[in-house]
Amino acid sequence: MIPAAFPLASRFPALGTTIFTVMSRLAAECGAVNLSQGFPDFQAEPALFDAVHRAMAAGRNQYAPMAGMPELRTAIAAKVATLYGIAYDVESEITVTAGATQALFTAIAACVGPGDEVIVFEPVYDSYGPAVTTVGGRVRHSRLGVPGYRPDWDHVASLINPRTRLIIVNSPHNPSGSLLSVGDLDALADLVRDTGIVILSDEVYEHIAFSAPHASLCAHPELAARSLVVSSFGKTYHITGWKVGYVVAPSTLTAEFRKVHQFNVFTVNTPAQLGIAEYMADPARHLGLAAFYREKRDRFRQLLAATRFELLPCDGTYFQLARYDAISDLPDRAFAEWLARRIGVAAIPLSAFYHDGHDDHVVRFCFAKEDATLVEAARRLQALNPGAPVESRP
């Protein structure tokens, strides 16, 4: 450790370390089965690695164009056109990003200035709020109604005022697994019609929708005309560590986005982009994802049925929410820490997704795991059952 020259006055005294980092670290520290941070514990297909390796070996290792490799932007345009019936221009309307996190931050920085307001839905993915406050904006929260985690559009309407610059939506929704319907998109369109409000749509789980087809803002022409839509290959191809994602948006919005992007990351890993572009040629690879994760969801729910957790509905994403009232009356952060240390399973306390620490005694489990991992987690969680034999404890 080197001594600091002077005490730095923090610009963000209220911000700690992201809950995903905290819980994954705790899981590693105490040998817990890590169902906290959202990432698969299985491998992507070798064909994807071969494609990246071939690009590297062929010398494709220098800077990609600022907007992304044309091969990848072309593949993205084709996928989005096929799925959502809209033709984004490869040159001026698609930008490859270093994951969705950078896309979201860059979009927020490009749209929001000091004093501007941004509406988000709680429980809310943890990166949106800090990004807004970093650029001087103010976050307004609209709570999703429990049960079901549905938006209350009348409440959203009450938050809209001349300072409202951006509304951030996320479907399929992390952490609740709820979906926006086409009716929700119509309600949103009614609210923003004749305003200058931009929509930022986080659709990183677009291919993991179970109970209804994913309602992308890309497929809603009125909203698409004022939206930046974000996705991530990390979720789709089981490569969260590669950090490659993208943004599609009308050219006027894309131009503003790129003004920030060029000085934020400038450009993204070239061989990874080329490998992903090649891999995207087979649509079965993204179209099969919902069935793949539906099976995991059903398996995990069936395993947890033998525990005292109350399982909430899961219509999309690879997260399962569970209420633990029948097990403990601890606050959710304390419960999650106890669960990791004493029972050996790490989960995310849902209060981390509320600005005021709202606590419904719910934790989030990630089921993007090998069957053996899910079975072992369930075995440990069964130690919480009344009368569970001591030898079943981890």
Would you tell me which residues interact with ligand GLN (CB under 6 A)?
A: 18, 20, 37-38, 174
**Distance in angstroms (rounded) separating the CA atoms of residues 371 and 376:** 9
CB of 35 to ligand GLN, least distance (A): 10
| CB nearer to ligand PMP: pick between 88 and 125 | 125
| CB nearer to ligand PMP: pick between 125 and 300 | 125
**Distance in angstroms (rounded) separating the CA atoms of residues 167 and 156:** 9
**Distance in angstroms (rounded) separating the CA atoms of residues 31 and 193:** 52
The entry of ligand PMP, ligand GLN, none near residue 234 (CB within 5 to 8 angstroms by kind) is: ligand PMP
**Distance in angstroms (rounded) separating the CA atoms of residues 252 and 370:** 43
The entry of ligand GLN, ligand PMP, none near residue 202 (CB within 5 to 8 angstroms by kind) is: ligand PMP
| CB nearer to ligand GLN: pick between 175 and 275 | 175
CB of 128 to ligand PMP, least distance (A): 8
| CB nearer to ligand GLN: pick between 104 and 112 | 104
The entry of ligand GLN, ligand PMP, none near residue 37 (CB within 5 to 8 angstroms by kind) is: ligand GLN
CB of 363 to ligand PMP, least distance (A): 16
Tell me the helix, strand and coil percentages in the chain, rounded to 5: 45, 15, 40
Residue type, 318: Y
**Distance in angstroms (rounded) separating the CA atoms of residues 275 and 269:** 10
The entry of ligand PMP, ligand GLN, none near residue 354 (CB within 5 to 8 angstroms by kind) is: none
| CB nearer to ligand GLN: pick between 88 and 210 | 210
Beta bridge partners of 316: 209
Are the C-beta atoms of residues 340 and 30 closer than 8 Å to each other?
A: yes
CB of 204 to ligand PMP, least distance (A): 5
What angle, 0 to 180 degrees and rounded to 10, lies between the N-to-C axes of helices 251-264 and 99-111? 110
* Burial state string for 265-303 with b = 16 or more CB within 10 A and e = fewer than 16: bebbbbbbbbbbbbbbeeeebbeebbeebbebbebbbeb
CB of 235 to ligand GLN, least distance (A): 8
Give just the sign of the alpha carbon dihedral 185, 125, 109, 207: negative
Q: Is residue 323 within a helix (H) or strand (E), and if so which, with residue range?
A: strand 319-323
Q: Tell me which residue of 168, 122, 125, 175 sits closest to 318, measured CA to CA.
A: 175
Q: Tell me which residue of 358, 357, 339 sits closest to 347, measured CA to CA.
A: 339
The entry of ligand GLN, ligand PMP, none near residue 20 (CB within 5 to 8 angstroms by kind) is: ligand GLN
CB of 274 to ligand PMP, least distance (A): 18
Q: Is 226 exposed, middle or buried (0-12, 13-18, 19+ CB in 10 A)?
A: buried
| CB nearer to ligand GLN: pick between 38 and 172 | 38
Are the C-beta atoms of residues 300 and 365 closer than 8 Å to each other?
A: yes
CB of 238 to ligand PMP, least distance (A): 12
The entry of ligand PMP, ligand GLN, none near residue 170 (CB within 5 to 8 angstroms by kind) is: ligand PMP
CB of 389 to ligand PMP, least distance (A): 37
Report which residue's Cβ sits closest to ligand PMP: 99
Question: What tokens were used for 175?
Answer: 């952490």
| CB nearer to ligand GLN: pick between 95 and 174 | 174
CB of 14 to ligand PMP, least distance (A): 21
The binding site for ligand PMP (CB under 6 A) comprises 38, 99-101, 125, 170, 174, 202, 204, 232, 234, 240, 243, 245
| CB nearer to ligand GLN: pick between 20 and 49 | 20
Are the C-beta atoms of residues 116 and 161 closer than 8 Å to each other?
A: no
The entry of ligand PMP, ligand GLN, none near residue 337 (CB within 5 to 8 angstroms by kind) is: none
The entry of ligand GLN, ligand PMP, none near residue 18 (CB within 5 to 8 angstroms by kind) is: ligand GLN
| CB nearer to ligand PMP: pick between 100 and 110 | 100
